Structures are given as structure tokens and as C-alpha cells.
Amino acid sequence: MRPFFLIPLLIATVCVACGDGSPKSPAPPSETAPPEMQSPIVTPPTVMITSPEFHTRRQVLETTGKIQFNEERLVRVNAPVTGRVVDVLAHPGDVVDAGLRLLLLDSPDLGTAKSDYAKAVSDLERSEKAAALARELFQVKAIAQKELREVENDYRKAMAEKERAASRLRTLGVPDAQFSEIAARTDTATTIAVIAPRGGVIVERNVIPGQVVAYGQSDTPPILFSIADLSAMWVLADVYEPDVPKVRMGQTATVTLACCPGEPYEGRVTYISDSVDPQTRTVKVRVVVPNRKRALKAEMFVKVAILTDSARVLTLPQSAIQREDGDTFVLVAGEKDQYDRRPVKVGADLDGVVEILDGVSPQDHVVGSGSILLKKTAK
């Protein structure tokens, strides 16, 4: 019974909503819509105005070079005497100190040198006794002064011969402490130790046990060992003739390895060659570079950047530069919020700013950011 009771109520409700059913004309639109009905206004981002500023631009000469050992701290060890190699005591890569034994030689020349020294000591003792006797005889007028002079001359010759023989032993590396044993003929060994004249790292070895090495038979004796100081290396850079006037002594240079471009090595120019290579038409420029962790190896090819000069240049931020249809320009702020396009000539990029060669001056006010939304409205 409940549904039938609700039907009349629904019909009455519909009639009230419809009114009299006559059509009504739509209301004319108002000339100004209420504020809440207006479209939101898009405000451009904040425009930053800046002026061109001066920055220091470094002028760099880029070239290539090759690493070499520091020749001023490189020593090459030759055989001090002819002989046969008994044993090799050092190897490439070893770090050695001055005086360390490198190899042992069995040399007949050492035996000869010891024999000469023993003979020279004996002759000196005999000459010294003869000179003392001659002085006594001369005092009692038993001999003439001429004979005394001859005896004293022989004594001086014997002294010189002893010094010569001793110098030869020192050249062969025999210490002075052994001279007394050699003079007494109790030390007749023919084995000699070749020692390192300077500390460093052995970078080359050209000798093996049993090899016979010669001394004094050529102008270029064979190199047995090469010992280098690897704390610093030389970099020989090739500079072409037109760039030579830009390079000066003491300039800073940066060396970069092909394997590690992000780890530069900084040094200074210490030498500029006075001759031009006839083949490459380049001048050799030497840069001394600290060798961190011994990463620099001889004969490596590297990139070299020499800081030749520095200059003050006018710059603007990258965001201020606009490009359109092949033209490069900036927006210069004028009066009454007007912006004018002004063509500019740009140079190199310098750490987030651009070098300005022509077009604006430090007195101009340039749109630094937000110019991308203003360039369509600019004149």
C-alpha cells in the first residue's frame, strides 16, 4: 500500500519544479564577468637585469710532448775495468742508495793495479832511506851536492808514483782502508764490486753473469746500469715556429695523460731550445713535472697546455645570449619596460660566462635571465 501513496506526492513535486511551463529567454551576458569568473593572468618569471663584467681570461697554448727521464738526475754506470761478470746484485725497478753494490767483476787489471801500488810503496821506502843517508853523507862532505839532489829527485818520483797507483785503486773502487794490506801483499784478490754512484731507481740493466765487459776500448763504453730519480720527469713539448714568441721561461704548464684526462700534472717551463728541428719545424720546450705515484713513464706521449698570457675581457652570463636565425643578440633594457635587441659578437666560453667582443659596454643593462620570454616583444 506504501508505493501507491507516494505517486501523487511525486507528481506534485514535478509540477512545482516546472512552474507554468512557459519558455524563458536566456539572460543577456553581462559586459564584465565577476572576478571569480575571469581567466587567470600568466605572469612571466622574474627578469634579472645585469651588466657586463670583466673577467680574467687565460690564454693557453696547446701542443703535444713526450716524457723523458730527468737527465740532470740520471746516472749511467759503466765498467771501471775490463773483466768478467761474476754476479749481478741489482735488477730493474730496484730502489738503490749511493754506494750499494750492483755487480761483481773478476778483473786481472785489478790485480795489476794492486801489484803496482805494492811496488810503488816499496820503491818509496827505499828512496826515502836513500835520501836520508845522502843527507847525512852530505853533512860530513862525503858526497857532492849534485849527488844529494839526484837522490832527492828519485825520492820525489817514487812519491808521485805511489800517489798515481793509489789514485788508480780509488778509481776502481778500492777503499783506502785496504791500502795497507795491498802494500803488504796480503790482499791480491781480483774481484771488484761496481757500486751505485747515486741513489735512485734502476731503470735499465744491460749485463748478465758471465758476460765480459771492456773498459776504455771505445768512445762510447757500454752502459751496464741506468739509475734515475723518478720524483720529477721532463716533458719535451713541440712548439711550432709561429708560437715560439709566446713561450717564456717560468711559465706554468699542464700535462695530461691520454689514460687519465681528469688528473693533470702541473709544472714549469725550464728550457727553450735555441734551434728548430728541420724535420718538424718545431722548437723543443722542456717542462719539469712532479711525478706523482710514478705514473709518468719515459717515452709516453702527452698533451701539454702552456699558460702563455692572461687578459681582462668583458663577459655576460650564458643565459643572456640569444640566438635566432643565425643572429646572436642580447636584450638591452630601455625606458618604460622596453627591451631592445642588440647584436653582439661573442668569443670563448669562460666558466659559465661568455666573452663579449663587441656590442655592449659595462654601462649597459642587459636581461640576464628570463629573456627567452621577452625576445618576441623586443624591438
Model pLDDT for residues 328-341, shown as the tens digit of each residue: 888 888 776 777 88
Mean pLDDT of 250-264: 91
* 24-49 pLDDT tens trace: 444 444 444 444 444 343 335 567 78
CA distances (Å), 156 to each of 116, 151, 162, 252, 324, in order?
A: 17, 9, 10, 60, 99
Q: Which of 224, 223, 229, 193 is nearest to 95 (CA)?
A: 229
CA distances (Å), 325 to each of 224, 271, 328, 351, 367, in order?
A: 70, 50, 9, 26, 20
Backbone torsions φ then ψ of 60, nearest 5 degrees: -120, 135
Mean pLDDT of 66-88: 93
The answer to whether the CB of 376 falls within 8 A of the CB of 324 is no
d(CA 171, CA 179): 13
Task: Tell me the fold of 48-55+312-373.
Answer: 2.40.420
pLDDT of residue 372: 59
**Structure-block grid coordinates of residue 38:** 575571469
Check whether 306 has a pLDDT greater than 80: yes
Task: Tell me the fold of 108-189.
Answer: Helix Hairpins (1.10.287)
At 374, the pLDDT band (50, 70, 90 cuts) reads low
Give the range among 148-162, 179-193, 207-221 with minimum mean pLDDT: 207-221
* 94-113 pLDDT tens trace: 999 999 999 999 999 899 99
At 377, the pLDDT band (50, 70, 90 cuts) reads low
Tell me the domain boundaries of the chain: 48-55+312-373, 108-189
Mean pLDDT of 315-327: 84
Q: Which residues contact 101 (CB under 8 A, 6 or more apart)?
A: 89, 90, 193, 194, 195, 196
At 12, the pLDDT band (50, 70, 90 cuts) reads very low
pTM exceeds 0.75, yes or no? no
Check whether 126 has a pLDDT greater than 80: yes
The answer to whether the CB of 341 falls within 8 A of the CB of 331 is yes
